Structure 1
């Protein structure tokens, strides 16, 4: 289960290091005002993709001006990207980011930077784990055995199929969460429109009576 993190405060020195870190990352838009630049989540998606291209599909994050679409982009990042890295951004931080509240994105970027480093370390440990090394040795030994005339028995481990099913289930759950968020937003819009229609109806009725 990914832990929800509320970004803690950072000092001026840490803030400056975050600016320098971002300046070293190639992004699709020029960096003018970091508070506004990152409000729609697109540049955050590009930051993650810079380090881990397979984690991010940029087409999932359209540039946005409305608060609703900005929140949708950040929710998608939370579900499809951050959760796979072992954390999620708190809703209060997302609200502050999309509303361009000062200093929030710097704090969140610091959290993301730390988690990128942790994720990198985990990947490195997995690559150097005894299980992975043993699998590589077996993979190297197999052609040699074939050259010696030994028959190779191909076995499809059950856990491979299980992992594939779990991945499919995980992706379906992510899609459901995103759709539920969109449905909730649409329901809010419908209620708002119904309320406006009722107000206009009441005004018309009042005007007719007068």
Structure 2
């Protein structure tokens, strides 16, 4: 009976058990890396195209590359689209890659959609695992490169520039995590607050300054308006005549 793997749904486990495979998959990252179990699963659905005897159940890099080379040709012939990142991650035992591959195969062969792989972002690094660890137990930069770049990757990829890009990606990921740690716990890294962070902002001071600014604005607009009126020479004013009422000497006395 297949042991339940983290990230592998029960429906996929029951499906694997129903196929009656010759090898019991107990550890997805290790058992599916050489492609033998993948070929055995596909032979149940494509018996004429997949011959089990053509695939070896070895653990060497040569055996892995030989099996996956045949599987890639079969995928292209049957127009089965599997992401290269998933296949490479499975070959090099990247975290979570084999689980994703098995779920993709299950969905393609059974026409059943799994919620766990909908809108999934492909990331086969140990970033999420490191984020769950305490800060003191997390990997250093060199350890992060060793954990996320396997020796088999370097052996199968002769380009130095591509390997350098992979290492730079891992270092950038490590630096982002370190920056997040410094923001979450500045005391651990002896980070002193800046002068702006030390300053206290009192509400009364803020209100007084706002009132001062508003008063200055009113004075400025008033002065501008009066100077504008005085500066206009073509302004004509209509003289208003007031008629005086006649008063008798008696009334005045």
Q: Which of the pair has more CA radius of gyration?
A: 2
Q: TM-score, normalised by structure 1?
A: 0.45
Q: TM-score, normalised by structure 2?
A: 0.38
Which gives a bigger RCO, structure 1 or 2 (Cα 8 Å, sep 6+)? 1
